[in-house]
Structure 1
């Protein structure tokens, strides 16, 4: 009976929003190749045949003129292409046109990278932006399509692309500042060393900028191939994904966590699916709190208490140092933000390793990237219902 009541309650919230299986992504690449025919050969009369090994010089050569549709990503050997002048060797990455903010006109996204940026701005997180339409991007597309009554495919079909509009360039440029460099701190190797730090800060500008712009460090390096990240100086310009658009105010009426898909969904008072974030879950099934929960506390600058009893193999547990407190910061074990639940020791929180969200597991809590838990904390309050399903 309790199981039937749970299913009925969730059915009231989700209605007919059951998610079908995601179909295989389709990708169409169109390259037009108009061929200019060579001029007809000139008829040579009363002339001896050319010597063997020589060429007839008064016949125009054939030419092929290639025209490629803009906005299509093409993988190529960049070093070879640069040598013959097809690309600028200093160009970071081929992106769709229209990244001049002053002259930008709202338009649909043209590349997988732009699709990820557009989804991220709207609250349907593709995870760490990397320009590749993987499983987390497809899950975000499914949620977006549900919200807007589109055919649910998990792919960018024509209707989805038209609805997913970019109202600002997908790439922006920022400059490294002295203050940003001053906040960096190397992370201690042990819990004791970490407990002595003034903050669990970023260790590098690469880590800082990647997290602040919701992308993978590898992709940020790809956008900026000439930046010397290990010796970066104040004033260095850096291209970053333009993900800073704020979400409209939303008050969550239900947070729904699906363990099987490792997603966290947010529904508003009209049962609209207004946000989806990838999440990590507990390693052991017995440590995953399935059922009805609720938010009890929120902390946007959370510290962390290290308890040696939970880490019996640590040096601190062996020497009996007792509990240690780690200061707030993005490299805190719970990230920047803690949302406590009405189950002792359980919560929704951030992480120092955003690349691993949805791919690794935790001790039992629900882990989001720092940027997504910072969005979520603005939607919930003590008492917000949280529903966890297998």
Structure 2
């Protein structure tokens, strides 16, 4: 068949309606328009990685950059060959060898409780007004539920169209099937110090590591370390030379770079108070114009502060999980709250931290 006859045949097929199904498949496969099946497949992989402690950051039902990075590090931890990430966005990686069947169902119904709403309240935008509060709460119930299930809030809205604007106790929403982050249980996380009232970024670092707590074996050898890659925005946790966990991070900018070098974990503080001093954050000079911001999930350093032996620098949570990997910090290393609490359970004062 020559080109003219071929073209005529295609025109005939279009006119007679033989091609609509194929056309629909092509339209559905356009970038930016994932199908429900594709969204579920991407979410399944993200939940799998999140459960394995190689987290993709916010779960959004897409094969985003951090999903690719988390998968590569997961395979590295198992001695498997990594797949090179493509330039195109939202491309499915090779998932051969992954036991994705363990993630079933991908989405689960969740009934909102009164306890979920206890950490929700009025959150002023002005720092001066925030400093007058005793607790910095979630902005609304949707904000709280999204963080509880490690989710992008817009993705949660897609899963629950029209439901998130006025959530109340007893309402049921669909959420990714991850281990829920409970802000109320942060105080029970071990190891770590008790809640500190003194601003964590103002404490003098300790020249020696904390003494073992009762019941801990002081002589037990530890070779746990943290390695932070400022180019890939990923933090890895190592036991000896074995990679055991990885989390997306935000690091400092060129102007306020995270301190390159080798450091030590000095303290782990839950529900920290933070001294917000714009002059200090931007230029490294302490001023008298500052605000003491109280604890809470929407404190600028989130729910956990892991102090390094460099005053004012720490690994910490965030008030804005959307910013992880997408914005620059003032020199610290920032994680999503659900990730920083998991990191805190794996490390202790004295462990090594390499920023490179």
Q: When the two structures are superposed, what TM-score results if normalisation uses the length of structure 2? A: 0.72
Q: Match for 1:157 among 86, 94, 100?
A: 94
- 1:196 deviates by 1.2
**1:239 counterpart (170, 174, 188):** 174
Q: Tell me: CA distance 1:164–1:230, structure 2 relative to 1, closer, same or farther (3 Å).
A: closer
Indicate if the aligned counterparts of 1:150 and 1:159 stay in contact, CA closer than 8 A: no
1:50-88 per-position Cα deviation (integer Å, ceiling 9, x unaligned): xxxxxxxxxxxx999x8xxxxx9x9489xxxxxxxxxxx
Distance 1:350 1:200 in 2: 14
Greater shift, 170-179 or 118-127, is seen at 170-179
- How much has 1:342 moved relative to structure 2? 0.6
Task: Give, in angstroms, the shift of residue 181 of structure 1.
Answer: 2.7
Larger mean CA deviation between 177-186 and 116-125 belongs to 177-186
| Map of 1:263 onto structure 2 | 234
| 2:108–2:175 CA contact under 8 A, matched in 1 | yes
Change (3 A) 1:157 1:209: same
The match for 2:9 is none
Report how many aligned residue pairs link the two structures: 287
SS in 1 for 2:55: coil
Residue of structure 2 equivalent to 1:88: none
Moved over 3 A (4+): 74-77, 93-96, 162-165, 249-252
SS of equivalent to 1:340: strand
Alignment match, 1:377? 344
Q: 2-side partners of 1:113 and 1:378: how far apart?
A: 25
Specify whether residues 167 and 220 from structure 1 end up closer, same or farther in structure 2 by C-alpha distance, changes over 3 A only.
Answer: closer
Q: CA deviation at 1:341?
A: 0.3
- Alignment match, 1:187: 123
Calculate the aligned-residue CA RMSD, in Å: 3.3
Instruction: Note closer, same or farther for the CA distance 1:350–1:279 as it changes in structure 2 (3 Å cut).
Output: same
Aligned equivalent of 2:159, options 223, 241, 250: 223
Matches within 5 A, 1:97-246: 111-153=41-83, 156-160=93-97, 162-227=98-163, 229-244=164-179
* Structure 1: distance between partners of 2:147 and 2:337: 8
Unaligned runs of 5+ in 1: 1-61, 67-71, 78-92, 97-108
The 2-side partners of 1:151 and 1:369 are apart by: 28
Partners of 2:235 and 2:246 within 8 A in 1: yes
Structure whose alpha-carbon radius of gyration is higher: 1
Contact 1:300 1:377 in 2 (8 A): no
Relative to structure 1, is the Cα distance of residues 199 and 156 closer, same or farther in structure 2, using a 3 angstrom cutoff? same
Instruction: Report the equivalent of 2:268.
Output: 298
Cα distance, 1:384–1:346 mapped onto 2, change above 3 Å: same
Q: 1:123 to 1:252 in 2, by over 3 A?
A: farther
- The structure 2 residue matched to 1:274, chosen from 244, 255, 278, is 244
User: Is 1:284 aligned with 2:220?
Assistant: no
- Alpha-carbon deviation of 1:177? 2.3
Offset at 1:150?
2.0
Are positions 1:360 and 2:327 aligned together?
Answer: yes
**In 1, distance between residues paired with 2:252 and 2:52?**
28
CA 1:311/1:138 → structure 2, altered by over 3 Å: closer, same or farther? closer
Counterpart of 2:184?
A: none
8 A contact 1:252–1:380 mirrored in 2: no
Q: In the alignment, what sits opposite 2:13?
A: none
SS at match of 1:265: strand
The alpha-carbon deviation at position 308 of structure 1 amounts to 5.3
Decide whether aligned partners of structure 1 residues 117 and 261 sit closer, same or farther in structure 2, where only a CA change above 3 A counts. same
Listed as ranges, the gaps of 5+ residues in structure 2 are 1-16, 86-91, 182-189, 192-221
C-alpha distance in 2 between matches for 1:182 and 1:387: 38
Return the alpha-carbon distance in structure 1 between the equivalents of residues 223 and 50 of structure 2.
18
- CA distance in structure 1 between the aligned counterparts of 2:136 and 2:239, rounded to whole angstroms: 34
